[in-house]
Each structure stands twice: as structure tokens, then as C-alpha cells.
Amino acid sequence: MSILPIRGARHLRRFQQITRVLIRHGFGELVDLLGATPAFPLVRILRRRPFLGPPQRLRMALEELGPTFIKLGQILSTRPDLLPPAYIAELSKLQDTVPPAPWESVRALLEAELGTPVEEIFPTLAPEPLAAASLAQVHPATLPDGSKVVVKVQRPNIEETISVDLDILADGARLLQTRTPLGEIYDLPGIVEEFSATLRAELDFYREGHNADRFRANFAGEPYLYIPKVYWDYTTRRVLVLERICGIKIDDIAALDAAGYDRYRIGLHAARMVIKEVLEDGFFHADPHPGNFFVLPGEVIGAMDFGMVGYLSRRTRTDLIRLYIAAVQLDEEAVVDRLIRMGVVRGSVDRMGLQHDIGRLLRKYAGLPLKAIRARDVMEEAMPIAFRHRLRLPSELWLLGKTLVMMEGVGLKLVPDFDMFAVSRPYVQRFLREMAAPRTWMPSLIRGVEEWAQFLEVLPRTGMQLLTRAERGELELSLRHQELGRALIYLDRLANRLALSILLAALIVGLALLVPAFHLAERGGLVTVLVVSGFALASLLGLWLVVSILRSGRR
């Protein structure tokens, strides 16, 4: 039987399916670690020789396993601190386009959510979707007042499917945490828990609607960006109704030129949008692929799909600006110090090695004009460093990096010599002025003064208590080393093995001396049998001990 907990019949069927797919794509070792193969002995015949590399086989396996695993792969493609660059590049190719769900099941879900026949709300509603993804699909429709809208509908039964997959992933992560060396490097249950929260949030269309409203409020004074209206009267947790915007896809260069649009102005507006999201709002669109942005008359950009967003606190934005300044000054030591303050660098990191790698990266771009530096190139250079030194950047920062790379690609397609840094310079300068303004640093200074005042207030009383306990001999100092327990276990095993070796050696030598001393070969009888048997048993134990030592050395 499998040692992975199985929570019910549906979980068992799905677990069997996952096992078969993993084995078919050459990941039988992972199945063995989960202890699943003994439960399905016949499935081993499906194991085949993998002709593709592991990254390609992983992508194919995730695509075959469906929505949950496709989303998992897409999230992992933004985490170069978890996977090597080859896996990141391959998982970035995951496509979230699937055949649409049958119209009758979609219609039934709509009527169940809205509580009324579809025709009473949408005089026209096309059964054929404009787009179909793993979690939802989008249908064009009109409202009774003639307004053109799009209806985003969750795929039927997708929540149940994802719930089962997330349960299996959580159980597998807890098992791998204790059975593999990965558990000593990563918090696998924590990673799955974070992914689970992200995916469940993406299934909540109320949240997506509020994201759209927040973007609209943030850009209320910016005429270059248009956010569609949310029709809350017809929106539920599984149905989202948005104003339909019609325009030209932002990367359709031929259509933009034919319409007479100024591509430089479009690129300028796209850059301003991203910079404002990151530096001013701390709230950014985290899925900026070209299909989510359309160009409207006047070079206005219309945005769609607000299910995946990112958040940056003011402190994080301040850290990023200071990190950027240290990098521009080619000060690798200051870069490492900033990363440590941000909590990115683990305590056991090879600081000199990290500093050397960062210095080499900075020197590669030294002297180049900023407009010649590409975010994609920097990310590709930084990913091996992050993986090698196990840097733990928050997922929001990796998501931000991917967002900047995608938007840079759109901008370069629109204007090949577009200078993102030139556009960002006024925003950076404004942010630096705000950092220096008293209203920015004064609250933290006041909090620090209050904390020092509280400390000084309790210091005399607490100090007297400590001195009194020390005089009475009641003060105990307790030290705990994180790896001390494991070291003691190893020492205990070593001592036991050494003692056993000495005892076995003494037993073998003693028994060997008994044979000629008592002329046991001539006397025969029970004594001879016992002595010879003891000698043979001691020799076998000695041989077992030697094999055990050799095997532990190989491990």
C-alpha cells in the first residue's frame, strides 16, 4: 500500500492517475519516494526510457495532469530560487489554453449562480467563448440596456477537481519534507500552502472584480489607461460580468500601423503604467501578456484579466530602490548587505562567493548606458546566482521580475530602441524625494523613540531582578544549537559502533584462543559445538559490521 495518506475514493483515483503520468514521463524515482509504486505494481510496466530532458518531461507531465498542475508550473516558473534556470525556461512555455466546456453545463452553472434563466439577464449570449482557459472561459453578451459585456464563467466542477489535487499536493509535500534532502533546504509544505492560497484566490471572481475597481481608482487621473466597468449586480463568486472593450491587441504591430497609431506613445503609456503600479501604488497587474491589453483610440491602453495581481509594501519598494542604487554604483558589498537586510540571504550562505558572483554580474554591465540594459538579460543572469546560493526572495518580487520582463518585451516590439530607464527616472527621483521627506521617516522615528522609552522604563526593574536571581544562584543560562541534536545522534551511533567493534574483536580473539588451549577438536561434545558456533557467529557479526560501515560511507 502507498504510504501517502489517501482521503477517499476520489483522492485514490486521482492519486493513481498522477502516479501513472509521473511514471510515464520518467519520474518513477519521485513515485518511489512517495511509496506509491507498491500499491500499483502493474503500473511499472508503463515506465519508459525518457528521451527528453527532465525539464521538458516535467512540463509535459504538468500539462497532462491538468489545471492545478499547469498553474503550479506557471507559479514555479517565477521562482528561480526553487528551480534551476533550465526548468524555469521550460515551465515558462506552459500554455493555459484548453478546449471549452460544453455549453449546456456552462449554462446550468450560470443559471444556478444568478438564480434566473440566462435570457432574462443576457438577451444575447454567445455559446462559443472568446477564450477558454483551465479555470474559466469568457463569453460575449449584451445586457437588457444594450451594453456590451463579457461574461467570465468558472469551468463546471473545477473547484472540486482543484481541491482534490491540492490535498494530494499537501500530503506529498509533507512526506517529501521528511524523506528527501530538499526538506533541509526548502519549506515544501509552506510552498504548497502559498500556492494553494494563490490558486483559491484566483477562483474567487469577487476578488478579481474588486482588483479591477482598485486599478480604476489608482489610475483615475491617468487618461492613458482604461479599466472596464464591473457589473456587480450580475457578478458572483463564480461569474464575473465586465464591460467589453474592443481594440487592437497591443502586440499586433501591423494592425496598429494600419490604424495610424503612434507606437512610441503606446510604449510610453505601457511603461508609465508599470512604473506607477510598482513605485507609487505597490499594486501591479501580474499577468501582463499581450492578450490582456488592447489599444483604443487615442493610444489609450485597455486592460483586462485582474485575477493575478502583486503587492509591494512601501518598505519593499524602498529596499528595491536602495538595491538599485547600490547596483548602479557597482558596490557588490552594499548589494549583499541590502539583500541580508531584506531577509533574502540565509545565515549559512557563502557571503564571499555570493559577493563574487554579484560583482561579476555588475561588472558585465558596467559602463553600458541604461537603455542598453535589458531586464530579460539581467533576470537570466541573476537566476543561476539565486539558485546556487539559495536566495529566498518573496514570491511577489519574482512575480514583479517576470512582469517587468513581459512588459519590456511588449515595449521592445512596439519601439525597438525604447528606453524604459529614461521613462522611470522622474518616478524614481520623486520616490527618493518622498523617502527623504519628514512625513515618510518621522513616523518610524517616533515609533523607535517610543520603543526605546519603553525599554528604558523596564530596564532598571528587569536588571535588578536578574541581578537578584544571579546572587541567589537561580539564574540559568540555556544554549541550544540548531544542529547539536543531530550531531549528538551521530556521535552516539559512532560510539555504539566503536564499542561493538571492540567487543566483537575481543570475542573472536578469545574464542580463537580457546580452541588450541582446551584441545576442543580432540574432545568433541557440546562444549566444542558451542565454542565453534560462537566463533562463527562472531565472525558473521564482524563481517556485517564491515559491510555496514562501507555502506554508510557511500551514503
pLDDT one-digit tens code per residue, 239-282: 999 999 999 999 899 999 999 999 989 988 988 898 899 888 99
SS3 (DSSP) at 283 = strand
Cell of 72: 503550479
Contact predicate 392/241, CB 8 Å: no
Q: Is the pLDDT of residue 195 over 60?
A: yes
pLDDT, the chain, mean: 81
pLDDT computed for residue 124 by the predictor: 95
Euclidean distance between CA atoms 1 and 432, whole angstroms = 61
**pLDDT tens per residue across span 374-385:** 777 888 888 888
**pLDDT tens per residue across span 294-327:** 999 999 999 998 988 889 888 888 888 888 888 8
Q: Calculate mean pLDDT across residues 284-292.
A: 84
Among 81, 165, 167, 287, which one carries the catalytic annotation? 287
pLDDT computed for residue 1 by the predictor: 46
pLDDT computed for residue 117 by the predictor: 92
Q: Calculate mean pLDDT across residues 384-409.
A: 80
Q: What angle do CA 432, 433, 434 make, to 5 degrees?
A: 90
pLDDT computed for residue 136 by the predictor: 92
Euclidean distance between CA atoms 152 and 129, whole angstroms = 9
Place of cell 558596490: 331
Catalytic annotation present for 287: yes
Contact predicate 184/143, CB 8 Å: no
Residue 24 is given by DSSP the state H
The DSSP secondary structure of 64-129, one letter per residue, reads HH-HHHHHHHHHHTT-TTTS-HHHHHHHTT-----PPPPHHHHHHHHHHHHSS-HHHH-SEE-SS-
Q: pLDDT confidence of 141, banded at 50, 70, 90? A: very high
Cell of 42: 502493474
Q: Is the pLDDT of residue 106 over 70?
A: yes
Note the Cα 427 to chain centre separation in Å. Answer: 29
Q: Is the pLDDT of residue 3 over 60?
A: no
Euclidean distance between CA atoms 394 and 315, whole angstroms = 13
pLDDT > 70 fraction of the chain, expressed in percent and rounded: 84
SS3 (DSSP) at 466 = helix
Q: Calculate mean pLDDT across residues 156-175.
A: 90
Euclidean distance between CA atoms 546 and 555, whole angstroms = 15
Q: Is the pLDDT of residue 447 over 70?
A: yes
Euclidean distance between CA atoms 218 and 277, whole angstroms = 8
The H or E element containing residue 286 is: none
Q: Calculate mean pLDDT across residues 408-434.
A: 78
SS (H, E, C) 479-495: CCCCCHHHHHHHHHHHH
Place of cell 474588486: 210
Contact predicate 181/234, CB 8 Å: no
Note the Cα 393 to chain centre separation in Å. Answer: 10
Q: pLDDT confidence of 39, banded at 50, 70, 90? A: very low
- β-strand pairing of 136-142 with 131-132: antiparallel
pLDDT computed for residue 84 by the predictor: 84
Q: pLDDT confidence of 534, banded at 50, 70, 90? A: confident
User: Of the given ranges (53-62, 120-129, 379-388), which has the lowest mean pLDDT?
Assistant: 379-388
Cell of 217: 481608482
Euclidean distance between CA atoms 417 and 408, whole angstroms = 11
Q: pLDDT confidence of 211, banded at 50, 70, 90? A: very high
